[in-house]
Every structure is written in C-alpha cells, then in structure tokens.
Amino acid sequence: MKAEIIAVGTEILTGQIVNTNAQFLSEKLASLGIDVYFQTAVGDNENRLLSILEIAKKRSDLVILCGGLGPTEDDLTKQVLAKFLNRRLVFDQVAMEKLDRFFASRLDYVRTPNNERQAQIVEDSISLQNETGLAVGGVIEVSGVTYVVLPGPPSELKPMVNNELIPILATDQKLYSRVLRFFGIGESQLVTLLGDLIDAQIDPTIAPYAKTGEVTLRLSTKASSQKEADTKFAYLEKKILAVQTFEKQRLVDLFYAYGDDNSLAQTTFELLRRAGKTVTAAESLTAGLFQATLANFSGASNVFSGGFVTYSMEEKSRMLDIPLADLEKHGVVSAFTAKKMAEQARKLTASDYAVSLTGVAGPDSLEGYPAGTVYIGLATTENVQSFKVNIAGRSRTDVRKIAVLHAFNQLRKTLLKNENML
C-alpha cells in the first residue's frame, strides 16, 4: 500500500508551527508495513487543496489529511474533501452528542452555529472519534483510494490514530459496507426504533443518514472477503427489517433498495422498464418535477412519452378535459381532482399508469388547507386511487421534492404488487 500525508494549514508553511504529525504518522504507518511515498503541506486554500487531492488520488492508495477540522472558515479540509468526492457533509451522532455535553457543562463558552462544523463528517465515512477534542475524524474509500481525515493538534491526532485508525489499518481485512434505503420514515424515528441494535453495535456498525424525504442506513464491517461480509450483513439486516414501527408496519415495508445511488425514482423507473409498462403524469404543485425526474434516466422515452403540467384550474379543465364546474365544486386541493387528473392523463396518452399531484406547496394556505397538504392520484387500467400526504414544516422546495418521492413510491408499490400477481 502506498500512502501519502497531506498537512493542511497556512501556519505550517509560514513556519509558525512544526509539522510533527508527519513524523508520527510515518513511524506508525511504517510499523504496519505501509510505505509513505509522499508528504505535502498545503495552506488553507480550497483550490490548492483540490489540486493536491487530484494528484494524490492518482499516485497513492492511502491519503491522510491532517488539520483544518476546526469551527472557523479557514478550517476547510472536510468541506474540500466532500466537494472533491462529490459527497455531502453529514452530522455524526456521537460527535454531536459530545458537542452538546461540552457546551452544556461549560457555561463560560458561547455556542455558535459554526461549532457544529466539528461534528460533521464526509457522507459515507466511518467516523473516528476524538477522545481529547471536539473535531471528529473519518475514513472513506472511494474508487480504490482510502481517505483519512485527522485533526491537526497532536494532542487530538495521536489518540485518534492509536485508538481509532490503527485498528482499521492494522489488519489484512478490508472495509465493506451495505446501504439500506428507506422511504416513509424519518431519521429520528428510525434511530429510536433501532436504539437497542445501535447501542449494542460492535461489528457490523450501523450509521443512519437523513436525506430529503428519506433515510439510509450504512452497515460497515471488516472482513477478509465479500462473502464473509455478506454473511455478517445478512444477519444484521434480517434483524433490522423485522423491527416494527410505531404504525405497526415492519421496516421491511419501508425498505426499497440497496446502494448509494439507487434512488426511489430510479428504482421505480427500473420496475417500469422491467415490466414493459408506460407512465404519464399530470402535475399541479410540482410543475413537472415528476416528469423531469423520469427524464433523467437513460431510456426514459421507453416508459414515458409525455405528460401534463396544469397549474391553474382552467388549464386542468382544458388540457385534461375535466368539466370546470366539477373542479370548482371539489377544489384544486382534493381527492376528486387528483383522481380525475390521473384518470384523464392516462386516457389521453394511452399509458399503462398515470400519476397526478395537486395540493399546497406553500408558504401560504390554499382553499383552507395548510402548506404541505398534497393529494396524489394513481390511475391504472383497472382503477383510480388517491392518497393524501401531509408534508408539514418544510420549505416550498422540499414540499415539492417530497411530494414527488411519495408519487414514485406509490407507483413503485403498485408495480411490485402487480408483478407479484403474475
């Protein structure tokens, strides 16, 4: 394994501090049989750090970044690495709880929003907890290169390396992970339901991550082979999916796919393509977002030939051939309108399925309904249904995005049901 150490901090370049971390890390890595081929120091500058990372990924298997994890704007190591890897920054639950305890016990310290930067890690990383400080470290493997983020102060870096990083590197085993994706449950509820499993976790570990409208669980383990890792994951996954929610569902009913990139929309698209079925949509509050999402996928024209964006009541009537008097009687925000929109869209395009979305994106109420009230229609060749969804406390943009996710989920469940009936 070829390793590279990147020390981040303008104070190193100006000679204000001596980079003793590089010597410590080189000795530790050598004891593990890992060769350090390059050592670099770079200032607190995004473009220069990005250029160093671009070079490092081409020549090293292990890239260790030290420093730049603090709360100030010039502490940008995690932010730049996240940008370089095209990942988000997410909050590590353990580090966030430590941050809460620290400020709760120190009345002489004022907590500011930027303090929370120290509890962030690059999405999909394995966290490295900080025994003597607040800045959490992390390990992530992308495209065959392992990236490690460590704090700069030696008093924090050394315990983290000895107690957190070395046990990961000092083994012939590799890191494996499996991502479970859920829709219809929030991160806080999922963590509560899995509290006993999370508290007892040793190997594999469980890391929840919230996304807009959904949540994922990353299971991680060290194993000598994919087969060994899969055996560990299968045992834990069975336990997770059997957990019952507060609504008396099992988590398996809310699970929809594996993987980092297998979105709810893509999962539904693949089901449509596999079944050889077509779909259309009539959208009001989402203004074509459902259709635009479908069009992101290669081969979309095989399942989607066109649809409707009918924002006003008059356009719903004119484009979908729904009597205006009926729309005025029932209102835009209604189960009737959602069903008629889906029914007519399917008939007019001769599609196998049709989805409709109507409701209140916000921030103002409409027809007496609060922002976040959404009706989704789903028409098939056999029947038409409507579903009411309440997406409260969200921005206008998030209401629209989550409404589209609900529409894809209803279509996904219908496709699976029809597939199982064959």
| CATH number of the domain bearing residue 87 | 3.40.980.10
* Integer Cα distance of 92 and 96 in angstroms: 6
The reported pLDDT for the residue numbered 422 is: 65
Per-residue H/E/C for the chain: CEEEEEEECHHHHCCCCCCHHHHHHHHHHHHCCCEEEEEEEECCCHHHHHHHHHHHHHHCCEEEEECCCCCCCCCCHHHHHHHHHCCCEEECHHHHHHHHHHHHHCCCCCCCHHHHHHHEEECCCEEECCCCCCCCEEEEEECCEEEEEECCCHHHHHHHHHHHHHHHHCCCCEEEEEEEEEECCCHHHHHHHCHHHHHCCCCCEEEEEEECCEEEEEEEEEECCHHHHHHHHHHHHHHHHCCECCCCCEHHHCEEEECCCCCHHHHHHHHHHHHCCCEEEEECCCCCHHHHHHCCCCCHHHCCCCCEECCCHHHHHHHHCCCHHHHHHHCCCCHHHHHHHHHHHHHHHCCCEEEEEEECCCCCCECCECCCEEEEEEECCCCEEEEEEECCCCCHHHHHHHHHHHHHHHHHHHHHHHHHHC
The reported pLDDT for the residue numbered 58 is: 95
- Given a cut of 80, is residue 173 above it in pLDDT? no
**Same domain? 7 vs 51:** yes
**Same domain? 72 vs 159:** yes
**Same domain? 187 vs 204:** yes
Please, which pLDDT band fits residue 379 given cuts at 50, 70 and 90? very high
**Same domain? 142 vs 12:** yes
- Given a cut of 70, is residue 215 above it in pLDDT? yes
* Integer Cα distance of 418 and 395 in angstroms: 35
Question: Where residue 328 sits, what CATH number does that domain have?
Answer: 3.90.950.20
Per residue in 44-85, pLDDT (tens digit) is: 999 999 999 999 999 999 999 999 998 888 899 999 999 999
The reported pLDDT for the residue numbered 196 is: 93
Per residue in 260-311, pLDDT (tens digit) is: 888 999 999 999 999 999 999 999 999 999 999 999 999 999 999 999 999 9
State which amino acid sits at residue 329: K
Please, which pLDDT band fits residue 248 given cuts at 50, 70 and 90? confident
**Same domain? 80 vs 187:** no
The reported pLDDT for the residue numbered 57 is: 95
Mean pLDDT within 375-398: 96
**Same domain? 160 vs 207:** no
Mean pLDDT within 15-30: 92
Residues 55, 38: contact at Cβ < 8 Å?
no
The reported pLDDT for the residue numbered 210 is: 86
Q: Which domain holds residue 274?
A: 264-419
Q: Which of 60-69, 88-97, 348-357 has the lowest mean pLDDT?
A: 88-97
Say what percent of the chain tops pLDDT 90. Answer: 77
Q: Which of 238-242, 246-250, 386-390 has the lowest mean pLDDT?
A: 246-250
- Given a cut of 70, is residue 317 above it in pLDDT? yes
**Same domain? 307 vs 364:** yes
Residues 6+ apart with CB under 8 A from 11: 17
The reported pLDDT for the residue numbered 178 is: 93
Q: What is the mean pLDDT of the chain?
A: 93
**Same domain? 22 vs 162:** yes
The reported pLDDT for the residue numbered 212 is: 86
Please, which pLDDT band fits residue 115 given cuts at 50, 70 and 90? confident
**Same domain? 153 vs 215:** no
Q: Which of 150, 169, 188 is the last residue of a domain?
A: 169
Both tokens of residue 421?
């009936």
**Same domain? 235 vs 345:** no
**Same domain? 227 vs 121:** no
Domain count, the chain: 3
